[in-house]
Structure 1
Amino acid sequence: MDLVKEIMKNPLPRELAFTKAEYDERIAKAQARMKAEGIDVLLISNTSNLGYLTGYDTTMPSGYTVGILQATGGVALHSSELEATCGLLAGVIEEFESFRWYDAQDTAGHLGGVLRDRGLSRARIGLEMGYAETFASGAFDTKSYLRLKQMLPDAEFVDATLLVLEVRSIKTAKELDYMREAGRISALGLEAARDAAAEGRMDNDLVAAAHHAMISAGSELMSIDPMCMTGRRCGYMPHIPYRRTRLNKGDTIYLEFTGTFNRYNAPCMRSAVIGEPSDAVKRLSDAAIETVETLLANIRPGRTGAEVAAIAQKVLDRVPEAFFHGGFGYSIGMGFQPSWCEAPLYISEAEQRELKPGMTFHLPICTWVPAQYGIGFSESVVVTENGCETLTPGSNRHLAVR
């Protein structure tokens, strides 16, 4: 049975997050960049890029899926039959090159045959060769790259890792609406988790409360599972998973969540403490909150990420006992598991690019005394014509005492 053909006999209406015209415009922008770089065909292995261009959505972004974008026309999907259904329901994809899900030993060989049949044996082929961002995924794997070169010896392969990501860096009004909705959901999850915090409860209880609140409020599958650390585990922030840890008096609590709405994210951090905080914890919390507020007051078009970072760093210099990772902001937007990070665009001492209206950032001010305690506060923002606007509600930016 041809699964795609069977579905198309009596399909459901497509569940598009944007109009087809907006997807067509995104594809046209990518094709314009392809033309400028002399690329005949772009192979899209980054699931977020594929979702951005077509609306494709899946619960299995780790599975093999490659979009094929030529100089004209739309994106064709090369995937197993089980992923083709995702392109049919959620996307604007009309062409499918499918294989059985259990027959994935030579996907690159099959892809090479597809490209050859499309007259692309001697083409200049753009590949997403690398991890564009430290915590991103989606790079075309080495084994497949070598097999594709073997299949198409006369083709030229070039790195196009950033091609679609650079198109994505400036958000449209509709994208920002979705991020605001994600931010609203994030805040509900944080509030529920803080309300659930009490001496004797477990970190799992806080995450369960957050999950229930966010899913009930409309979140779909989250790009990262809620992050929750407590007690001395906060001194190992920020990526230690929750693990049935009891809350004790004096423990700090670190929470970092995002709701996800049509795959758009707006993460937010908040912190709490069981019982009255020590002077050291209060000092660290005050510095983290002031750093967020300093960023909000200084992010504006025309400034470089380095300039804004230098201003914010002066606040954290007041707590030299604490570690800070140096990243005052990173690009966010559309995301699939395992990450909500987007393009390699930062607010940091090394970032010399200027901020532009429509760029969106998470401002992750998590700082900790190693192996002792830690605090985190953040907002997600969009750069505006005159400054920035929070996409997360921005409420309850204080250390909650439970």
Structure 2
Amino acid sequence: MPALYFHELEYQTRLAATKQAMLKSDFDTIILSDPANIFYLTGFDAWAFYAPLFLVVSCELNQPLWIGRFMDAVSAHDTTYLSEENIRTYPDNFVQSSTLHPVEPTALILKERGLDKGVIGVEMGAYYYTARIHAEFLANLPNARFSDAELLVNRVRLIKSPTEQHYLREAGRIADAAMAAAVDKCAPGVRECDVVAEIYSKQIGGTSEFGGVYTTSPPHFCAAERVRTPHGLWTDQPLKNNSALNIEIAGARLHYHCPISRTVYLGHPPDSYLRLADAVVEGLNTTMESIRPGMMAEEVELTWRKTIAKHGFEKEARLGYSIGVGFPPTWGERTASLRPGDKTVLKAGMAFHCMSGLWLENTGIVITQSFLVTENGNEPLTQFERKLSVKN
């Protein structure tokens, strides 16, 4: 029996919602290549997306059709609820070939099922849907009309089920443990890479009750002069006294991600930096107190913007984004963002990372909060104290 992370009924509910979205957009069929969406609709869990991997959803089929490299069919049997007839493969000579392409056998499979006609939606902006793949589909399925189905399933994913919320809470506990280990390890003279090693240990080891999995991206570890950068990486250099460092990581439980960011100051921070920290913490706390269902995403950002403006600061980048299932290269769902112009209405079951960080010309600070929208407000997914961590 497959090792499903959810009851089969939940996968069927997700599939029904996807088909409903397809009907509204006049799609007969969609071909998915985003591993997060493939995982969401089937449970498929293996590192197979480096080669073309497709999930075909048709309004005419009771189950999706999984199409991938022949050796990865074993994982499809082990991790999904799909029947034998809906797990299809292409031979190994199509993998990383200069003359053959996996879309060729994929197109033949679609023709067998009568899915080579009508309007076919594809994820034009998905990270694993390449220009070559699209060109091959156009050439091999001339009777179909292709249209962009970008983010169709991502939007279905916005509201999390009770089980998904449970996994996000567990991811939050892993994130807390990893951040606590990192802050505890930080000290002048300790190599940056040794702190990150502690992070990785906790991310994978998880808690005594449950373990973690790999996250979509490495820890962002920005020390010394790199503190002004948002997505820098660690080095093997020792940490310096009287300097700040920013850490952004996530806990991942069964691919459900809960991000967290914190700033550590080694030594005695100057008053100017303490004022910066106070402004960010006040902005974050005020924003979190305001969040409730029925708000628009842009209203959340406006609360933050008004609060930090009182201290003379402004943030150009978005304040946050929706989170949930994540596969490389991002744990963001690429749908709702907390920024001006985003009129997404917050609903119970949505999850976000409130990315309340500021990167200035010569310094930076990150103190953030992931949360679930609830029926009456919001629930923080991490419990790590929202403050500047000072280690004298």
TM over 0.5: yes
Task: Please give the root-mean-square deviation of Cα atoms over the aligned residues, in Å.
Answer: 1.6
Residues 123-163 of structure 1: CA deviation (Å, up to 9, x unaligned)? 211111124xxxxx34x222221221121212111111122
Give 1:214 deviation, angstroms: 2.4
The answer to whether 1:198 aligns with 2:190 is: no
Q: Could you tell me whether the CA contact under 8 Å between 1:59 and 1:221 is conserved in 2?
A: no
Counterpart CA distance in 1 for 2:389 and 2:344 is 36
Counterpart CA distance in 2 for 1:165 and 1:121 is 24
Match of 1:331 in 2: 322
Q: Which runs of 5+ in 2 are unaligned?
A: none
Residues 140-189 of structure 1: CA deviation (Å, up to 9, x unaligned)? 22222122112121211111112211111111111000000000000000
Q: How does 1:30-41 map to 2 (within 5 A)?
A: 30-41=18-29
The answer to whether 1:278 aligns with 2:270 is: yes
Match of 1:352 in 2: 343
Q: Could you tell me whether the CA contact under 8 Å between 2:203 and 2:214 is conserved in 1?
A: no
Counterpart CA distance in 1 for 2:189 and 2:311 is 30
The answer to whether 1:124 aligns with 2:114 is: no
Match of 2:178 in 1: 189
Match of 1:112 in 2: 107
Match of 2:50 in 1: 62
Q: Which runs of 5+ in 1 are unaligned?
A: 1-12, 132-136
The one-letter amino acid of 2:215's match is M
Counterpart CA distance in 1 for 2:49 and 2:212 is 18
CA shift in 2, pair 1:284/1:30, >3 Å: same
Counterpart CA distance in 2 for 1:300 and 1:243 is 40
Counterpart CA distance in 2 for 1:396 and 1:307 is 25
Match of 2:197 in 1: 208
Match of 2:197, SS state, is helix
Match of 1:266, SS state, is strand
Give 1:308 deviation, angstroms: 1.9
Match of 1:340, SS state, is strand
Counterpart CA distance in 2 for 1:261 and 1:319 is 37
Match of 2:40 in 1: 52
Give 1:323 deviation, angstroms: 6.6
Counterpart CA distance in 1 for 2:38 and 2:131 is 20
Give 1:121 deviation, angstroms: 2.8
Match of 1:178 in 2: 167
Q: How does 1:112-261 map to 2 (within 5 A)?
A: 112-131=107-126, 137-138=127-128, 140-217=129-206, 218-236=211-229, 238-261=230-253
Match of 1:84, SS state, is helix
CA shift in 2, pair 1:285/1:152, >3 Å: same
CA shift in 2, pair 1:401/1:161, >3 Å: same
Match of 1:6 in 2: none
Counterpart CA distance in 1 for 2:111 and 2:53 is 18
What's the % identity of the aligned pairs?
A: 30
Give 1:106 deviation, angstroms: 1.0
Counterpart CA distance in 1 for 2:270 and 2:50 is 44
